Chain A
Amino acid sequence: MRNLLAAILFACAAWPAQAQLSIEITGAGGQRIAIAVAPLAGEGALLDGANASISAIVRADLERSGLFRGLEVPRLVPQLTEASSVNYAEWRSRLADTLVLGSVAARPDGRFEVRFRLYDVVRQVALGGVAYTLTREQVRATAHRIADYVYEKLTGEKGVFSTRIAYVVKRGERFELQVADADGANEQAMLVSAEPIISPAWSPDGRRLAYVSFQNKKPIVYVQDIEVPKQQIVANFKGSNSAPAWSPDGRRLALVLTRDGNSQIYLINPDGSNLQRLTRSSGIDTEPFFSPDGQWLFFTSDRGGSPQIYRMPAAGGDAQRVTFEGSYNVSPRVSPDGKNLAFIMRDGSRFQAALLDLNTRQVQVLTDSDLDESPSFAPNGRQILLATIIAGRGVLTSVSADGRVKQRLTVSAADVREPAWGPLNK
């Protein structure tokens, strides 16, 4: 009988599992690179039912970045491959700035080999190419790696198409901690609960998530391996346990406890050992976030009368105030290069994502929405993912650091929130 009950509870926990993140581009960069990604010769052999082809995934990835305009490429007969000689004049007449040609071949071991080459059509030179061996299951992952290669060659920055994102879906009264590829595919539930889940944070190696779950009727910090659906308690002290943030070496977590009174920042090992109190203020200290070099801890505190962002040495010591404009500045996240700080600022009745240049102290508002929260940098620093409310619904938006490239990420018939962009694939 108990098994039956468990089965029913499980069934209702797993009930509508079809929904997935869909991504819509709502703003693009000023000057986009026109790229022709020709169908890879023989890529049809990798098509399996509804799967998109490698060339289609590469093109969609590049377009989603807002920095590329994908050109329609007619089916070419005979098909061009990375070994074909390139008629630059013809591609130029198709208005291509750049071109990808390639092929897919079956290997005797049942796997496949993908080869491609990237060309600069304007300068009429090959920029390089790679060969990958893959199984049928690795079509998307391989396409993302090709897109990463193209992106890096043409922009000089790391691509983030092979990364993953975590977020929380609220579906009716149910909460789901989800992990998906950066393009929204391969959504995978880490945790489903009738109680809230907040503040997912990726370990620097991308293998674990720390998060806060209310499943035991109060906020407790857990760590969970992405591949193994088993929770480990990191902090379950008297009062609230929340706001986990990994140190860049992955050995420590900063978090917030109320066990000694007000919300204060502590350090702890990911296995729950070696607790150490870091802040000692009479107010609220929360939302710790390490600088990429591990030297500083940024955090939110109301010690000055209103919530503002401060920083202190991660080893402990005096805090310095970082934000000065406005009466409500929260949720500090340092950019991967350590130069900028994304945060949420209140301006009148609006709560908007903003970027602070830590050198010049200049603040730039990034969005025109009213209820932004939880910013998260892409690991190349170019995009910032955040949660907002649009038409009464929780959605994620992504905005480029210059405010121009914008995307909206939604889940049908549900609210999505608490985004966390994972690290680069090593």
Chain B
Amino acid sequence: MRALWIVLIASALAACATTQTPDTQPPAGVEDRAPGATRPAPGTQSVPSTPVTGVDLSAGRPASDAGNPLRDPASILSQRSVYYDFDKYDIGDEFKPVIEAHAKYLREHGVVKMLIQGNTDERGSREYNIALGQRRAEGVKRMLLLLGAREEQVEAVSLGEEKPKETGHDEEAWARNRRSDMLYPGEY
């Protein structure tokens, strides 16, 4: 009984801390600060630079992840993010293969649902950023629907600048926060 209480207290205290999605972090090294070239390089943000073996998968993940293409770093489906320029919501060509892959996955798994979260960097108006994040998420959703996903499968929401993945106040952090994330159940 006492042990149970301790567990409860510990979990309650843990609940005080925010549960950040254990999302894959883009590696450092997005250096180009020229305007218009401030997106992290596509394809690099979720593929670790070192080759990945099956050991990595079993280390921190439930065994059921094995063979799950959504979690397999070697699969394009493990890539979830679209990055944008400041105050823009158009989707760069480099992100289209990722969206196409997810559209195909949704087509082939008709019961699977997806949440798209649109994010912005911290600059400017919080309310405008809510609207901008919504446009970014809606843009990804529209493309998924055009590619055959069904309306009921995909929901687009905005987090604006309110849930920054990177908390810095520089262009590198901002570039990583101007982002839409495609998330599956259990990931948000």
Give the interface of A toward B (CB within 8 A). Answer: 1, 4-5, 8-9, 12-13, 15, 172-174, 194, 196, 198-199, 214, 217-219, 239-240, 242-243, 256, 258, 261-263, 284, 286-287, 300, 306-307, 328, 330-331, 344, 346, 351, 371, 373-374, 389, 392, 418
Contact = CB atoms under 8 A, between A and B. Distances in A.
B123 A300 contact: no
Contacts of A242: 127, 130
B125 A344 contact: yes
A371 B122 contact: yes
Contacts of B18: 173, 194
Interface of B: 5, 8-9, 12-13, 15-18, 87, 122-128, 130-132, 134-135, 138, 156-160, 162-163, 169, 188
Contact of A240 (B123, B128, B134, B163): B134
Nearest to B156: A239
A1 B125 contact: no
A95 B12 CA distance: 61
Nearest to A306: B87
Contact of B127 (A15, A173, A331): A331
B70 to A, nearest CB: 21
A284 B131 CA distance: 6
A286 B13 CA distance: 38
B6 to A, nearest CB: 12
B127 A256 contact: yes
Nearest to B167: A392
A12 B13 contact: yes
Report the 10 A-B pairs with minimum CB-CB distance, sorted nearest first.
A173-B18, A263-B131, A196-B162, A330-B125, A8-B12, A12-B16, A284-B131, A243-B127, A286-B131, A331-B125
Given A240-B134, A262-B135, A307-B87, A219 B158 contact: yes
A87 to B, nearest CB: 56
B132 to A, nearest CB: 7
Nearest to A244: B127
Contacts of B157: 218, 239-240
A196 B128 contact: no
B150 to A, nearest CB: 16
B124 A373 contact: yes
B130 A286 contact: yes
Given A262-B135, A284-B135, A389-B169, A174 B124 contact: no
Given A9-B15, A219-B158, A286 B127 contact: yes
A371 B169 CA distance: 10
Given A9-B12, A196-B163, A307-B128, A239 B123 contact: no
Contact of A1 (B8, B13, B158): B8
Contacts of A262: 131, 134-135, 138
B185 to A, nearest CB: 13
Given A173-B17, A173-B18, A196-B163, A287 B127 contact: yes
Contacts of A346: 123-124
A74 to B, nearest CB: 48
Contacts of A239: 134, 156-157
Contacts of B127: 198-199, 242-243, 256, 286-287, 300, 331
A256 B169 CA distance: 28
Contacts of A217: 188
B128 A330 contact: yes
B58 to A, nearest CB: 30
Given A243-B127, A262-B138, A307-B125, 17 more contacts: A9-B15, A12-B15, A172-B17, A173-B18, A194-B18, A196-B162, A219-B158, A258-B138, A263-B131, A263-B134, A300-B127, A328-B124, A330-B128, A351-B124, A373-B126, A389-B122, A418-B126
